[in-house]
Structure 1
Amino acid sequence: MNGTVSNFHYGAVTPVTAYLMACLGSALGLRCTTRSLRRARPGRRAGWLLLGAVSLGCGIWTMHFIAMIGFGVAETPVDYDPERTMLSLAIAIVVVAVGVFLVGYRGAAPGNLAVAGVFTGLGVAAMHYVGMAALEMRGAVHYRTTEVVLSVVISVVAATAALWAAVSVRGAWPAFGASLVMAMAVTGMHYTGMAAVTVRLHEVSPTAQSSVGLMSFLLVMLAGPLVALLVAGVIVMFDPDVVLGDGPWNTPGTPASTPRHALARSPHTGGVSPQTGTRSPT
C-alpha cells in the first residue's frame, strides 16, 4: 500500500521560506566570492572563498530542510536519523567549497567551469538524497527514475550557473538578480526530486503524525547553519566595500596601511599624492 505523501503540509509557508533562505545563501556566496577576486592578499582570498562556500552550502541545505518541514505521510509518523542529516550538511559544504575554490583560483574557463559545475551539482544532488535517506518511517521511500534524473540535471545546471555568476557577475543589482535565479533553480531541484517520491507502507499507524517533535528536531538541526549565515551576513555587511563604497582603498596593490584619507586624495583624483605630498596636475 502506498502512503499519501504531501510536500505542503503548511501551505505556502515552507516553500516560500525555503526559497528566501536559498536567496540569502546565494547572495552571500556571490558577495564573498566576488570579494575574494578583488583582494590583494592571497590569505584573504582563501578566507573569502571559504566563507562564500559555507554560505552557499548552508543556504542550500537550510532550504532543503525548511522545505522538508512541509513533508509528511498521512498514514505514518516521520522522523530523521541525526547522523545522516548532519552528513548531508557536510556534503553540501564540501562539494560547494570544491567548486568555489576551483573557479576562484582557476577561473571560469569552459573546461574548468564544466568540471566544477558537474562535481558541485552532483554533490548537491547527493546532499538531497542523503538527506532523504535520513527519513525514518513505517515504510520505504521509492523514487520514479524520470524525476530523479531531471532533478540531477537541474542541480548540475544550477551549480554551473552559480559558479559562473560567482566569478563573472559585478554590481549589486546584477548579483541580486543572479541570487534570485540561483535560488529558484535550487528550490526547483528540491521539489522536482520530491515529486519522484512514493512511500510503500509496511504498516499503517493508528495515530496521527505528531508534527511538534519533528519540527523541534528540524529547528535544532537548522540552528547551526542559520547562525553561520548570520555570521557571514555580519562579515559582509561590515566589509569595507559596503561601509565605504568601492574606491582605490580596495583595489589590488594598495598597501593595507595606507589611510583612506590619503588614498582619497591620490593622483587618481587630482589630489595630493601620498608618496610625494605634492599636488598632482588636474
Structure 2
Amino acid sequence: MQGTVDGFSYGLVTPLVAFLMACLGGALGLRCTTRSRSASRRRRAGWLTLGSVAIGSGIWTMHFIGMMGFAIKGTPIHYDRALTFASLAVGIVMVGTGIFIVGYRGASGTALFTGGTVTGLGIASMHYLGMAGMTLDGTLEYHTGLVAVSVVIAMAAASAALWAAGQDRGFQWSVGASLVMGLAVTGMHYTGMAALDVHVHGTATPAQGESAAALLGPLMVGPLSFLVLAGIVVILDPLMVTGGSGRPPAEHRPGIPAHPPAHHPPARARLRLRGPVEHRSRTPQRH
C-alpha cells in the first residue's frame, strides 16, 4: 500500500529552521576555511578541521531538523542510533577531505573540482545514510533521476561555496556564500525527499530504533553545542571579520625569506655619487 508522506507536518517551521542551521554551519565553516589561508602552515590544519566539523555539524543538524517534520500517515517512524551517528561521522570526514584539498591546494582548477566533488558527495552520503537509518512497517524506494539531481545540487553547492571561501573578499562575501550554500543544501535535502516513495505494510510500531523525539532531540545537543563554541572562536579571533590579507605570512611562504636583506648600492655607484662632491670641493674659490 502506498503511504501518504508529509514532509511538512509542522508547516514551514522545520524547513526554515533547517535552512538557518545550514547557513550557520556554512558561515562558520567557510569563514574558518578563509581564515586558514592567512594562518601559518602549522595552524592551518586546525582552522580547516574546525571548518570541516562546523559545516558537517550544520548540515547534519539541518537534515534531522527537517526529518522532525517528516511523517507517514498511520505508521510510526523510528531511527537506528548507529546509522544516525554514522551519517554524522561520514558527513564530517568527507566534507573535511574536500575542505583540506582546497585549503592546501587552492580554490581553483583541479583542486576546486576535486574538493567540491568530495564535499558534495559527503553531503549526499550523510543525507541518504541518515535516511537508511529510518525503520518503519514498510519499505522505501527512490526515483533514480531525482536522486541524481539531488547529488548534482550538493556537488554544485559545495564547489560554489568553496570557491567563494577561496576568494577572500571580506566577511560579507562569506555570509553571502553561506546563504547560497544553505539554500542549495536545503534544496538538496527536499529534492532527495521528493525522490522517496513509501510502501506501507501495516501500522505496527517498528521493533528496532527509537522515535524522533527520543533520539534526534538529545543527539542534536552535541552538534548544536559545537556550533556555539565554534561561533565564539570565530568572534574572538581578531582576523576573522577582516580576514587579513588572505595570504600566509612571508616566513611561511616557500622561496620568500622571512627578513629580506637590506639593499646596498654597488661600490661603483657609491664612488660615482661621491665624485661630483669631491670635484666641487677642489674648485678654488674666487675672491
Q: TM-score, normalised by structure 1?
A: 0.83
Identity among equivalent pairs (%): 53
Q: Deviations over 1:78-111 (max 9, x none)?
A: 0100000000000110011100100000112311
Is 1:183–2:163 an aligned residue pair? no
1:239 aligned partner: 237
Are residues 60 and 150 of structure 1, via their aligned partners in 2, closer, same or farther at CA, if it must alter by over 3 Å?
same
2:109 aligned partner: 110
Letter paired with 1:33: T
Letter paired with 1:15: P
Distance (Å, rounded) in 2 between the aligned partners of 1:17 and 1:165: 24
Distance (Å, rounded) in 2 between the aligned partners of 1:76 and 1:190: 22
Q: Please, what is the CA RMSD of the aligned residues?
A: 2.1
1:221 aligned partner: 219
The correspondence of residues 145-156 of structure 1 with structure 2, limited to 5 A, is: 145-156=144-155
Letter paired with 2:222: G
Contact 2:171-2:243 at 8 Å conserved across structures: no
Letter paired with 1:230: V
Distance (Å, rounded) in 2 between the aligned partners of 1:65 and 1:9: 14
Is 1:157–2:156 an aligned residue pair? yes
Distance (Å, rounded) in 2 between the aligned partners of 1:246 and 1:67: 33
Q: TM-score, normalised by structure 2?
A: 0.81
Distance (Å, rounded) in 2 between the aligned partners of 1:17 and 1:79: 22
1:252 aligned partner: 249
Distance (Å, rounded) in 1 between the aligned partners of 2:251 and 2:8: 52
Runs of 4+ in 1 over 3 A off after TM superposition: 245-248
Moved more, 30-39 or 79-88: 30-39
Q: Give the number of equivalent residue pairs.
A: 247
Moved more, 86-95 or 164-173: 164-173
Q: Deviations over 1:54-97 (max 9, x none)?
A: 11111111110110000010121001000000000001100111
The structural deviation recorded for 1:137 is 0.6
Letter paired with 1:180: L
Contact 2:38-2:244 at 8 Å conserved across structures: no
The unaligned stretches of length 5 or more in structure 2 are 253-287
**Structure whose CA Rg is larger:** 2
The structural deviation recorded for 1:183 is 0.4
Contact 2:157-2:184 at 8 Å conserved across structures: yes
